[in-house]
Structure 1
Amino acid sequence: MVAGKRKVLISWVGANDLKAVTDGGLGPILSTLTAGVFDAVELLCAYPAERVGPYLGWLSEQVDIPITAHAEPLSSPVHFGEIYHAAHRHLQQLVEGGVQLSILLTAGTPAMQAVWILLGKTRYPAIFYQSSLEQGVQQVDIPFEIAAEYVPAANAISSTQLTKLSGQRVPVDAAFDSIIAQSGRMLALKAQAHVLAEKSVPVLIYGETGTGKELFARAIHNAGPRAAQPFITVNCGAIPPELVDSVLFGHKKGAFTGAIAERLGVFEQAHGGTLFLDEFGELTLAVQVRLLRVLQEGTFTPVGASREVQVDVRLITATHRNLMADVAQGSFREDLFYRVAVGVLHLPALRERDGDLLLLTDALLAGIGSQDPSLKDKKVSLEAKELIRRHPWRGNVRELHATLLRAALWCQGSLITKGDIDQALFKLPVQEADLMSIDVSQGVDINNIISKVVTHYVRGALAATGQNKTRAATLLGLNSQQTLTKWIEKHGVE
């Protein structure tokens, strides 16, 4: 610890931290505070106050250092621009206060982790920590240094411009030409969407996170007869349950505690135009009932009002969930499903779009370069493209864009190398439960997968039998203790 400087830990509050209040665990934040010596902790909270409050009260009872919490509501937990703005502001204030910074990477989303690393390696030197049940709390040595000559592009970009670059918002004037694709499946989807755009029927868009659902929704609106009217978008999964009615249908002044002014709901805001409900499958059954009535009758009553409001809205919904399975399980209303699923588009994952990956790479990098002169003319080497081609891209186009932006900031000169892409990637460890769902089209190490399965079950069998190899072999269906010993040696089971 630097003499004379307070050691302050800063972190986002994550879901596992909130769960610790009730599940008897510690959570990443308390685990880190318990394992290390800190003078204070600064917490950034994107969750609603009613969820964070009990956790802060509980945490204050566990430690005897000052806890300062800052509410940082985000439109999305993976919105790079908003995350960067919040993290940058707080780190700057702490550094100006003369503290020694420590950053906990574990709590929060991958986007939050990326921003911590970006800022902690460039603007505000910090010690990084991570916490896991398997490894405990560890100080992290990020395996790359960013010397002055290494980040000329990052140094030349203002905070405002970096926020803009990171945000990757869907352009207001998005058209079908904005959807970069050459695969037959995507071209067919664009053609279908173009036909739907000319009608006013509801459209349901399926797809994993980052596949371009909002881009399709914008293009449908802009190509249709309502193009000159409002396009209103709302993330249903980000609305606190107690505010859903207010957000969707609006409220009158004084309708509930905190309703200090009248507010129009998104249905009324979208009157005459299009309402895009993202993460539509997250709505509760109670809200689904009220939504169905609006779609059937075109009327609703704002919270606290006595008179109905009539609206004319074209509805486009999007979800990553299998709504038909939810209907079968009773968690989604069948009548609402068929009301919204008149036109249905299934957007494929990026790994399923043959021929589109490298085309998108070039297009996204060109887009990044067009927004800032210091990132102009960046190119991707052939070795880097091969690494891009092999990566599974579970975050789809959004992950690809974020990776290219990080690589463009890190790279020396105009050529983005394989090493630049490799350190820009976030490689999430494959859990044993996911071993049967690895995308084989991206290449797999079958021997490594077999070794993981063997290690998992051999350890379990030995633990269940008190390290008795003969009985463990029987549990595993092996012929003898000698066979088990050979498996242990072959697969390096410790």
Structure 2
Amino acid sequence: MGNKSQAALICWIGGNDLDAVTGKEQGPICATLKAELFQSVELLYNYPEEKVKPYLDWLTQQVDTPIHAHPAPLTSPVNFGEIYQQANQHLSRLQGDHHNIAILLSPGTPAMQAVWILLGKTRFPCTYYQSSREAGVQQVDIPFEVAAEYIPAAGGLNSAQLSQLAALDAPVNAAFDSIITRNPRMQTLKAQAQILAQRNVPVLIYGETGTGKELFARAIHNASNRANAPFIPLNCGAIPPELVDSVLFGHKKGAFTGAVADKPGVFAQANGGTLFLDEFGELEPAVQVRLLRVLQEGTFVPVGGSKEIKVDIRLITATHRNLMEAVANGDFREDLFYRVAVGVLHLPPLREREGDLSLLAESLLRSLGEQDASLKGKNISVEAKKVILKHPWRGNVRELQSALLRAALWSQGDTLTAEDIRQALFQMPEKNTGLLNRDVTQGIDINELCDDVMRHYIPLALDAAQGKKSKAAELLGMNNYQTLDHKMKKLNITQT
């Protein structure tokens, strides 16, 4: 038994605590109250009364500490805003009653633990405890400080809105004005896509993950004469093989186990409008055959059905794979390829969109502010822009948006600093790891591999040469610094 504490202990009731009633383990709350003495314990709970009451009765028999339990309703145990409001309310009450405060971090979700730390480090001086089966009960020190500026942002967080911001879905009303660029290559693609929008022909969009393939597809649909009809997107790579036919063509009631009602497939849902098949290159050869028939005849039969259904759809497909190589290797049907590849758009990766990085970063940050008031008015410092320009952005626009969202959520002021951006970046393993061990049968981009090598070594050479380009060029085996300059411009490498 520990020393008598003059503090009130506060925590959430967790699932492991409720399980203690069955006699499996005593749970972190009981373990802590047996190891340390407190004036009282304040328990918050989001479980039904019928689950909590037996636990409180049991806990009362185990310890002598006065127990006060408080229902704290949440729509979700990971809703930061609601958790913040509940925890703040009860901590304010304890502080108003002149209690010293101790917080038990162990029970509850990670979101609950994060809010305890946030409040304890900014508004309510406290001591922290944690309890685990391995280490027992310990008073713990949280070895960092949190700026008080975080409080308003944390109080205003909306979980659903954050999820929506993080999803980076293409807007339903996407237009070609939504595609932000000053890059000549991208401007040409926009012009080509606007022409295709007026022609009722299939479109195939190539591009790495995160380059904006769905944004282009939606813009084409919205600029076409089908704009008032459905736009139905489908990620072909996410469909379980056994459900492909049902997802594409629908099924009749009783067609298979679990088919409790008729259900239309995406072809029927898109009738009169546009069907967007993303990750199109992931479809199995057997599915490609059935898809080709639908595209040729405009009819299909649902799974378990006997009657043909006729549809009128405009097909837009997208892939990151080289389908021509897949055709040459026998992995993709040549006749299907030529059926879908009438209008073809090759979207460049972000690293090849010279002049667009800063423009896109500012536009995306403004967009985040328009969707969430707590992020409104933030801007990017000059030093932060330098960090953005040096990053390879292998995840393209999606990675840039996610990094800006993380940086904006945790920045302390209205300006994102270089450190904010650095902390928001994920350092992925270098692509040139195992450079000589790539599977050529799956197709490789030899020029991109060479570019990756240069992206890796040019900054290192510039550092070693203390910024002198002539010396860096010599270290890299280049004839002169003009050659190095050319490579840096091509690969969007900036010197800091």
What is the match of residue 88 of structure 1? 78
* SS of match in other structure, 1:276: strand
What is the match of residue 100 of structure 1? 106
Whether the 8 Å CA contact 2:211–2:397 is kept in 1: the answer is yes
Amino acid across the alignment from 1:176 = F
- Structure 2 residue 218 is matched with structure 1 residue 228: no
* SS of match in other structure, 2:261: coil
Cα distance between partner residues in 2 of 1:177 and 1:294: 33
Cα distance between partner residues in 2 of 1:318 and 1:205: 5
Cα distance between partner residues in 1 of 2:328 and 2:108: 48
1:72-221 aligned within 5 A: 88=78, 100=106, 121=114, 146-150=146-150, 152-221=152-221
Cα distance between partner residues in 2 of 1:319 and 1:124: 44
- Structure 2 residue 452 is matched with structure 1 residue 439: yes
Amino acid across the alignment from 1:100 = S
Amino acid across the alignment from 1:295 = L
What is the match of residue 340 of structure 2? 340
Unaligned runs of 5+ in 2: 1-8, 17-26, 29-74, 88-103, 119-127, 130-141, 437-448, 462-496
Whether the 8 Å CA contact 1:179–1:215 is kept in 2: the answer is yes
* SS of match in other structure, 1:171: coil
CA shift at 1:435, angstroms? 4.9
* SS of match in other structure, 1:233: strand
CA shift at 1:325, angstroms? 1.2
Cα distance between partner residues in 2 of 1:120 and 1:394: 33
Indicate how the Cα distance of structure 1 residues 322 and 402 shifts in structure 2: closer, same or farther if over 3 A, else same: same
* SS of match in other structure, 1:272: coil
* SS of match in other structure, 2:433: helix
CA shift at 1:429, angstroms? 2.6
Amino acid across the alignment from 2:370 = S
What is the match of residue 289 of structure 1? 289
* SS of match in other structure, 1:315: strand
- Structure 2 residue 248 is matched with structure 1 residue 272: no
CA shift at 1:272, angstroms? 0.7
Amino acid across the alignment from 2:289 = V
Whether the 8 Å CA contact 1:247–1:265 is kept in 2: the answer is yes
* SS of match in other structure, 1:344: strand
* SS of match in other structure, 1:306: coil
1:448-463 aligned within 5 A: none
Indicate how the Cα distance of structure 1 residues 248 and 119 shifts in structure 2: closer, same or farther if over 3 A, else same: farther
Cα distance between partner residues in 2 of 1:87 and 1:281: 39
* SS of match in other structure, 2:78: helix
CA shift at 1:148, angstroms? 4.0
- Structure 2 residue 393 is matched with structure 1 residue 380: no
CA shift at 1:119, angstroms? 8.2
Cα distance between partner residues in 2 of 1:263 and 1:307: 15
Aligned sequence identity (%): 61
CA shift at 1:441, angstroms? 6.4
Q: Deviations over 1:253-310 (max 9, x none)?
A: 0000000010001001101110000011111011000000000000100000001001
Greater C-alpha radius of gyration: 2
CA shift at 1:373, angstroms? 1.8
Cα distance between partner residues in 2 of 1:415 and 1:429: 29
Whether the 8 Å CA contact 1:275–1:313 is kept in 2: the answer is yes
CA shift at 1:147, angstroms? 4.5
CA shift at 1:143, angstroms? 10
Q: Deviations over 1:115-136 (max 9, x none)?
A: x8x8875578999xxxxxxxxx
Indicate how the Cα distance of structure 1 residues 283 and 252 shifts in structure 2: closer, same or farther if over 3 A, else same: same
CA shift at 1:439, angstroms? 2.9
What is the match of residue 325 of structure 2? 325
Please report the TM-score for the alignment, with normalisation by the length of structure 1. 0.63
* SS of match in other structure, 2:271: coil
Cα distance between partner residues in 1 of 2:425 and 2:247: 36
Indicate how the Cα distance of structure 1 residues 288 and 269 shifts in structure 2: closer, same or farther if over 3 A, else same: same
Whether the 8 Å CA contact 1:7–1:99 is kept in 2: the answer is no
Whether the 8 Å CA contact 1:121–1:146 is kept in 2: the answer is no
Whether the 8 Å CA contact 1:6–1:99 is kept in 2: the answer is no
Cα distance between partner residues in 1 of 2:409 and 2:261: 44
Cα distance between partner residues in 1 of 2:143 and 2:427: 14
CA shift at 1:326, angstroms? 1.1
Please report the TM-score for the alignment, with normalisation by the length of structure 2. 0.63
What is the match of residue 394 of structure 1? 394
CA shift at 1:433, angstroms? 3.0
CA shift at 1:169, angstroms? 1.9
What is the match of residue 353 of structure 1? 353
What is the match of residue 258 of structure 2? 258
Cα distance between partner residues in 1 of 2:145 and 2:411: 12
Whether the 8 Å CA contact 2:294–2:300 is kept in 1: the answer is yes
What is the match of residue 464 of structure 2? none
In the alignment of these two chains, the number of paired residues is: 348
Amino acid across the alignment from 2:391 = H
Amino acid across the alignment from 1:218 = R
CA shift at 1:214, angstroms? 0.1
Q: Deviations over 1:129-188 (max 9, x none)?
A: xxxxxxxxxxxxx99865543464343222232222222221111000000000001000
* SS of match in other structure, 1:227: coil
CA shift at 1:89, angstroms? 6.7
* SS of match in other structure, 1:439: helix
Cα distance between partner residues in 2 of 1:321 and 1:441: 24
* SS of match in other structure, 2:428: coil
Whether the 8 Å CA contact 1:193–1:220 is kept in 2: the answer is yes
Whether the 8 Å CA contact 1:8–1:100 is kept in 2: the answer is no
Unaligned runs of 5+ in 1: 10-38, 41-84, 104-115, 128-141, 449-494
Cα distance between partner residues in 2 of 1:404 and 1:143: 27
Whether the 8 Å CA contact 2:204–2:344 is kept in 1: the answer is yes
* SS of match in other structure, 1:433: coil
Amino acid across the alignment from 1:316 = I
Whether the 8 Å CA contact 1:391–1:442 is kept in 2: the answer is no
Q: Deviations over 1:356-406 (max 9, x none)?
A: 000000000000011122211101000000000000111110110111011
Q: Deviations over 1:196-224 (max 9, x none)?
A: 10001100000011000000000001111
Indicate how the Cα distance of structure 1 residues 363 and 440 shifts in structure 2: closer, same or farther if over 3 A, else same: farther
Cα distance between partner residues in 1 of 2:298 and 2:279: 22
1:473-488 aligned within 5 A: none
Whether the 8 Å CA contact 1:204–1:340 is kept in 2: the answer is yes
Indicate how the Cα distance of structure 1 residues 407 and 155 shifts in structure 2: closer, same or farther if over 3 A, else same: farther
* SS of match in other structure, 2:457: coil
